[in-house]
Amino acid sequence: MEEKINSLKNELDEVFLSFIKDKNEVKSLFDLDLLESKYLGKKSFIAQTLKNINDFPQQIKPLVGKTVNETRKKIEDDIKLLRDDFTKVEYDKKLREEKFDLTLPGRTLTYGSKNIISQVIEEIQEIFIGLGYEIAEGPEVETDYYNFEALNHPPDHPARSLHDTFFISENILLRTHTSPVQIRYMEKHKLPVYIIAPGKVYRKDYDVTHTPMFTQIEGLAVDKNINFGNLKWTLETLAHSVFGKDRKVRFRPHYFPFTEPSAEVDVSCNICGGDGCRVCSGTGWLEILGAGMVDPNLYKFVNYDPETVNGFAFGMGVERIAMLKYGIDDLRLFFENDIRFLKQF
């Protein structure tokens, strides 16, 4: 039986070789029709073999069918390709007559826009999630305790006058910064604490450079063995990531009641490259955020041990970051919600 199959295979190989030879001689569609009829037509070897398949012993019939069909498929494909070679020029010529204007506009799908404030928050959150921080939240209407007292602003503290506060009642107010989240979070969590807290804050101030509501992002890292060098590394990483690796970053000593030492952080001005221009008021630097080591006093409010625990905190204005990053020159645009502004981002 194996002999029979082998002999069939030999015959098929010969048929195919002959087909290849004949194929090379084909010069027209007419020749191709003849070729097709010769190798696949009723009288062809392939058709005849399949027609008389019952002459083979029962066991090898499937193998015979498979073997023959393989050759038939090869021949069929070659013929299809050859036919396409002969017809495609004519076909294209016909299709080309159907003129079609590719330049007409497509069906409109309008895109929307995530608010630029949301985008900047998201960008900064992603950076810190990458550094192992979680996102924390807190109420926008706060008690005096969380907004001031537990942040080292006792009632008569002069730093309170830096915040023009909206009050609801004597002890309840609209938070003037996102820093209360620091206290609320530490009260409820043990070490280590690594959080970012974005949110709206309110100050009674309304002019070209102030809106009564704006957005801040607070950061807090409290652990064992955290020092000022770590704060510098973290904020340099942030500034480079938001503004670009080529920008210089500097830390200036400053004062905040709830950090000690405190710093303000500047990036080099991208408009003048540090030489001084109108945007940076001639200093070559643009202030982007405030930061510092958490004042040990705060740990007393949340029952941490100030002798063994260290940490840093920082806070930035989202609108300010957006203005510097995108060159927006008017703060009021953020809350006017002009669609032409929103759509740019």
Q: Choose which of 39, 75, 181, 295 interacts with another protein (CB under 8 A).
A: 295
Please tell me the distance from the alpha carbon of residue 285 to that of residue 275, in angstroms, as a whole number. 9
Kindly state the smallest distance separating residue 48's Cβ from another protein, in Å.
Answer: 41
Kindly state the smallest distance separating residue 270's Cβ from another protein, in Å.
Answer: 20
Interaction residues for another protein, span 104-133 (CB under 8 A): 104-105, 107-115, 117-118, 122, 125, 128-133
* 232 C-beta neighbours (distance < 10 Å), count: 16
Q: Tell me, by CB under 8 A, how many residues bind another protein.
A: 89
State yes or no: residue 230 binds another protein (CB under 8 A). yes
Please tell me the distance from the alpha carbon of residue 194 to that of residue 192, in angstroms, as a whole number. 7
State yes or no: residue 189 binds another protein (CB under 8 A). no
Kindly state the smallest distance separating residue 225's Cβ from another protein, in Å.
Answer: 8
Q: Which is nearer to another protein, 25 or 170 (CB)?
A: 170
Q: Which is nearer to another protein, 58 or 337 (CB)?
A: 337
- Give Cβ neighbours of residue 142 (< 8 Å, ≥ 6 apart): 172, 173, 174, 175, 180
Kindly state the smallest distance separating residue 158's Cβ from another protein, in Å.
Answer: 4
Q: Which is nearer to another protein, 59 or 169 (CB)?
A: 169
State yes or no: residue 255 binds another protein (CB under 8 A). yes
Q: Which is nearer to another protein, 74 or 232 (CB)?
A: 232
* 230 C-beta neighbours (distance < 10 Å), count: 16
Q: Which of 276, 277, 254 is nearest to 264 (CA)?
A: 254
The three-state secondary structure class of 239 is helix
State yes or no: residue 212 binds another protein (CB under 8 A). yes
298 to 337: interface string for another protein, x by CB under 8 A: ------------x-----------------------xxxx
Cis before 261? omega within 30: yes
State yes or no: residue 342 binds another protein (CB under 8 A). yes
State yes or no: residue 142 binds another protein (CB under 8 A). yes
Is residue 304 within 8 A of residue 191, CB to CB? The reply is yes
- Give Cβ neighbours of residue 263 (< 8 Å, ≥ 6 apart): 231, 251, 252, 253, 254, 290, 291, 292
What the block records as the tokens of 79 is 């013929």
Is residue 203 within 8 A of residue 286, CB to CB? The reply is no
Q: Which is nearer to another protein, 13 or 205 (CB)?
A: 205
State yes or no: residue 248 binds another protein (CB under 8 A). no
